Structure 1
Amino acid sequence: MQVQTPDWVKHAVFYQIFPDRFAKSKQISDAKSKQIYDAKSKQPRKRLFQSASWEDWEAMPTLQGYKGGDLWGIMEQLDYIESLGINAIYFTPIFQSASNHRYHTHDYYQVDPMLGGNAAFKELLDAAHSRNIKVVLDGVFNHSSRGFFFFHDVLENGPYSPWVNWFKIEGWPLAPYTGDAPANYGSWGENRALPEFNHDNPDVREYIMEIAEYWIEFGIDGWRLDVPFEIKTPGFWQEFRDRVKAINPEAYIVGEVWGDSREWLDGTQFDGVMNYIFAGAAIAFAAGDRVVLEQVQSRDYQPYPPLFAAEYAAKIQDLLALYPWEIQLTQLNLLASHDTARLMTIAGGDKDSVKLATLLMMTFPGAPSVYYGDEVGLFGGIDPDSRRVFPLESAWDREILDTHKKLIALRHQYPCLRIGEYKTLYAQGELYIFARILNNQSENEFENEKLLIAVNAGTASAKATFGVAELDFQPGKLLYGDAEVEWNEEGEIQNLSLNVPPRSGCILAVGNK
């Protein structure tokens, strides 16, 4: 079968936002100030609580505390997000919940009032779309929460509840809040706060499908699916795709699967997964033995042990061989997320590691995803520390920010970085060189766009010389970095020599566009 994926994702740079921690609105009505009105609905913007017990914004986050970030605040930061070159946002869950991360869903049809409710989300969605920024939501469809109405009815009415068969009830009584007795129901990770749906029940399947359809019709541009591998019901994700794509064929469906995802990337289910295989390899090469082991031991991706260039090249080739090319172009590539320590902390504070890994990500096939704050050098260990608030401007690392802006701009400028062929050219010691190649035959001209990318992860300068005649490389300008470039001919053989400074990378134009 022919695999079809959303074209816009191939050209997207994502920004992942944890809503409670990104921004708190400065323009929300409260009892002591004049009302602020939404320009479209003419309704006042109101926070649910006027004096909620938020944690101090700048204090270290806790597992259960709320910081009070909201969707109005995010909307006020769209200028900043756009200035980065971001054209897609992935939000961790925003639906009503009794947790700061909102993976404990209470109501799938209501945006959490603490974030501003459905009205705030509608205004934010419209504002993002007006800037050509796509919006993807997190769908938690394997499990709900103890506060979910249907499960709460089971807790109240036991075997007499009409919703008993919606969950994996194993016996009576249920024990949702104590570990002293058997829970008597299935829950994700044996966490009693997260009762699992019975997806073999047709009513449950239909309920979830209708939720997916409702928000696509509302205007979102896709779904990121939480732990989709936990749903074993045959045909579930095939139906999910069919129902979503029937409303919007360009909707993006991306699963949270950490390893080999061929089971879900056959063209009938997901358009991509969160590409932790790439993240592990990129960090292991860029950061090497600088990786702080206690920040990665609890996760099942592999940013350690260190990789030399040849080992990194082998892992990348294995990864690129796993899935159809059309799928490779819509993978969600990342270096960190709310489920990992932040890259700066994993790398022990080494800025060069961050810059090198970012260079690898921004030049790799698939859509890059920047975890909010990573672009300004935010630190953060494993959960809950990885979910710190976005820092004040005075605390930004301008060098890291400038790196992100330059690389994102180059990705947007050169289509070969988005959809071009990926070809490894050299992998020895700690120097890795590859090319992104795009040959376009238009009606009146032939465009030959080629970029060469070199990454030296070592602590000494590294030089490589190789023939480029077969690749039809042409002398061009250095777009990024400070490498020394020499072109020379030996008879009919044309060679390119690169001398790359330690702990640095470069991008060189070698096409004749």
Structure 2
Amino acid sequence: MTNPFIFDPRDPESKFPYGAVPAGTQVRFTVRPPRAGGYSRVILTARFESRDNAVVERILLWHGIEGARDVFTGTLETGEYVGLVWYTLRLEGLDGRSAELGKYQLTVYDDSETVPGWFGEGLTYQIFPDRFRRRAIPDPTGMVGGRTVHQSWEEEPVYLPDEHGEIRNRDFFGGSLAGVREKLTYLRRLGVETIYFCPIFEGVENHRYGTGDYEKIDPMLGDEAQFRLLCEEAHHLGMRIMLDGVFNHTGYISRYFNGDGSYPSEVPGAAQSTESPYYPWYHFTHWPDRYDSWWGIYSLPAVNESESTYLDYIIRGENSIVKRWLRAGADGWRLDVADELPDSFVHALHTAAREAKKDAVVIGEVWEDGSNKIAYGVRRKHILGGHCDGLMNYPFRNAAISYLLGGDARWFRETMEGLRANYPSTAYYSAMNALGTHDTPRILTLLGVGSPCTEYPKSWRADFRMSEEEYARGKARLKLGAVLLYAFPGSPTLYYGDEAGMEGFEDPFNRRTFPWGREDSELVSWFTALGCIRSWSQALRKGDISYVEADGPVLAFRRTWEEESMLVALNAGAEPASLPLSGPMKDLLTGEVFPAPGARTMEAALPPCTARLLVPLRLHLACRAKETI
């Protein structure tokens, strides 16, 4: 029995307050069964999961009649509890009949800290450092790892195994921090407010997710002085810097594990001596050749995050890694594989980050609904307060791509409203929303071709380039998806080069070099216009969201902040559609005014594969978006 007219957990008329609630909130429940059902009592059963699954029952009292319905209402005290509450509603009749609604999730969080708003409001740009911009061809001599450097920026990344059957990721292109500094004004023109770097610390692989030395910027990228200068110049332009914290594992080739002896032996690594200060950081089943590693990948030995000396080094020490790089100029951390880090570790890291910089932000990599994620048998506390301020929003990506490829807009709304109901508002508005990342196929290719094409050999995907028809289709869908991305609550996150028309399937084809001088100028202008609108529109930066329509290919929602309102309308279908309006409106993307002169109805036309950002004509704020497109 799930009739929303009886009880809808996402309707404030049924459950108030809406969504997740701070600890100490008294939550009111109202159930409205039809009088013809003959129900005389409603019992709320609530299970407080983090309180040893303690069960509380509350009788909802009859409150009166609304039309043909009885009204039962009652409250549940949350007290000092923080965690998930799972509840059901049992309707009982005098004749012994009963019906049950639920189970439903209630998220109770700790709101004792203020989450900085800067991250969620502005545009984030993700950079894979080796592939964004290089100033000169670097010389890898003396660098750890046996690296090679592509002489041409336009060459293809290596994807084939070496003579030992291993994919080593030791081919570099030489992107650098100096190269990023050279393009800071370009990023600012795009509307970027946060630059999120994939790992920049010394590491032998081009992705640098196997950290060799947390205390050193990788020498191919630059040094600490270059990093500080980059942060200073970015701050001067109104941009912040977010670093990738890879703390679940280190590199096999690192000063800590030192599996091949590449690092100086004055302080031996864990694989060199059981007396090494780093030995307790790892779990050996047979020293030195068998040990825990991330997903069984030998080159990424897993660390024991509960080891006291590791905690001191990464988090707790006065000059810990987390604090040191924030003091050097970084503004936040994105935590790699956050759900594989103990909650206690994430909490300690969050505390240290705020100590080092009071408005530092911590964002976690989680691929699912982070409010109820279970990892390694433990319900995680990611967004319950004092842990992650926000999460990477892969549910948004999945729902958006499904919609753009022909799925029903209702499913997008249902998925996003499920997150909004489960997440604390601060976490929902601090989400890192993206259509593509370094871990997914290029969004342009995915939208143009329609799938990741994993049924074909990897060599086929390596050589694949879209036809003109596929490129045009992907581009049209990407422009539509970009409007959705930039208009949605949370930080729109742009993966480097998506605005330039980069294509490719999975790693490493999604990590090709930025095509400087060969960009798709129409796409760059489109993203620049959206960045402009996002930068000044308070409604898009922090406004409420309410859905106007979600039916088949048409998706429309309104963002509202104080007196400013923006109506976002998309038609992902192949047939024209229209959207009723309550008054004259102007599309910021085209300059068109609706209704059109002479029109008989108050509506906005939505041609196939079209998006509009509509503002009331009387309140139109000049952005000159049309000229930038």
Per the TM superposition, whether the score is higher than 0.5 is yes
1:501 and 2:624 correspond: no
Residue matched to 1:138: 244
Residue matched to 2:366: 257
Distance 1:511 1:141, change over 3 A: farther
Residue matched to 1:372: 496
How high is the TM-score relative to the length of structure 2?
A: 0.68
Residue 274 of structure 1, aligned match among 362, 386, 392: 392
Distance 1:106 1:113, change over 3 A: same
1:329 CA displacement: 1.4
1:85/1:405 contact within 8 Å kept: yes
User: In structure 2, how many angstroms separate the alpha carbons of the residues matched to 1:105 and 1:237?
Assistant: 19
User: In structure 2, how many angstroms separate the alpha carbons of the residues matched to 1:124 and 1:4?
Assistant: 28
Residue matched to 1:36: none
Distance 1:428 1:192, change over 3 A: same
User: In structure 1, how many angstroms separate the alpha carbons of the residues matched to 2:367 and 2:339?
Assistant: 10
- Aligned with 2:285: secondary structure? coil
1:156 CA displacement: 5.1
How high is the TM-score relative to the length of structure 1?
A: 0.83
Distance 1:414 1:161, change over 3 A: closer
Aligned-partner residue type, residue 354 of structure 1: L
- Aligned with 2:192: secondary structure? coil
Residue matched to 1:330: 430
Q: What's the CA shift string for 1:29-63, capped at 9, x where partnerless?
A: 99xxxxxxxxxxxxxxx9988xx841131011125
Residue 169 of structure 1, aligned match among 284, 288, 298: 284
2:584/2:593 contact within 8 Å kept: no
1:85 and 2:191 correspond: yes
1:318 CA displacement: 1.4
Q: What's the CA shift string for 1:97-137, capped at 9, x where partnerless?
A: 11101111111010011111212212211111111110111
1:29/1:47 contact within 8 Å kept: no
1:482/1:500 contact within 8 Å kept: no
1:458 and 2:573 correspond: yes
Residue matched to 1:225: 335
1:19 CA displacement: 0.8
2:271/2:279 contact within 8 Å kept: no
User: In structure 1, how many angstroms separate the alpha carbons of the residues matched to 2:296 and 2:483?
Assistant: 39
Q: What's the CA shift string for 1:285-331, capped at 9, x where partnerless?
A: 1133xxxxxxxxxxxxxxxxxx2122222122112222111221111
Residue matched to 2:114: 4
Q: What's the CA shift string for 1:235-265, capped at 9, x where partnerless?
A: 2111111111012121111111111111301
1:154 CA displacement: 4.4
Deviates more, 1:153-162 or 1:53-62: 153-162
- Aligned with 1:142: secondary structure? coil
Residue matched to 1:392: 516
Q: Which runs of 5+ in 1 are unaligned?
A: 31-45, 176-183, 289-306, 440-447, 469-473, 489-494
1:62 and 2:158 correspond: yes
1:422 CA displacement: 0.4
Residue matched to 2:61: none
1:484/1:499 contact within 8 Å kept: no
Higher relative contact order (CA 8 A, sep 6+): 1
- Aligned with 1:127: secondary structure? helix
- Aligned with 1:79: secondary structure? helix
User: In structure 2, how many angstroms separate the alpha carbons of the residues matched to 1:185 and 1:387?
Assistant: 30
User: Larger helix proportion, structure 1 or 2?
Assistant: 1
Aligned pairs, number: 448
User: In structure 2, how many angstroms separate the alpha carbons of the residues matched to 1:278 and 1:240?
Assistant: 26
Distance 1:199 1:485, change over 3 A: same
User: In structure 2, how many angstroms separate the alpha carbons of the residues matched to 1:266 and 1:277?
Assistant: 19
Residue matched to 2:13: none
1:465 CA displacement: 2.8
User: In structure 1, how many angstroms separate the alpha carbons of the residues matched to 2:590 and 2:367?
Assistant: 32
Q: What's the CA shift string for 1:364-416, capped at 9, x where partnerless?
A: 001111111000111021000000000032x2112211211111111112100
User: In structure 1, how many angstroms separate the alpha carbons of the residues matched to 2:555 and 2:196?
Assistant: 31
User: In structure 1, how many angstroms separate the alpha carbons of the residues matched to 2:475 and 2:294?
Assistant: 37
User: In structure 1, how many angstroms separate the alpha carbons of the residues matched to 2:330 and 2:512?
Assistant: 26
Question: In percent, how many aligned pairs have the same letter?
Answer: 35
2:231/2:329 contact within 8 Å kept: yes
- Aligned with 2:527: secondary structure? helix
- Aligned with 1:277: secondary structure? helix
- Aligned with 2:430: secondary structure? coil
Distance 1:14 1:276, change over 3 A: same
Residue 449 of structure 1, aligned match among 561, 564, 588: 564
- Aligned with 2:199: secondary structure? coil
User: In structure 2, how many angstroms separate the alpha carbons of the residues matched to 1:100 and 1:374?
Assistant: 20
2:270/2:282 contact within 8 Å kept: no
User: Larger strand proportion, structure 1 or 2?
Assistant: 2
Residue 415 of structure 2, aligned match among 315, 340, 344: 315
Residue matched to 2:351: 242
Aligned-partner residue type, residue 410 of structure 2: A
1:25 CA displacement: 1.1
Residue matched to 1:34: none
Name which one, 1 or 2, has greater alpha-carbon Rg.
Answer: 2
Residue matched to 2:529: 406
Distance 1:392 1:408, change over 3 A: same
1:14/1:368 contact within 8 Å kept: yes
Residue 447 of structure 2, aligned match among 336, 344, 347: 347
1:275 CA displacement: 0.8
Residue 479 of structure 1, aligned match among 570, 581, 588: 588
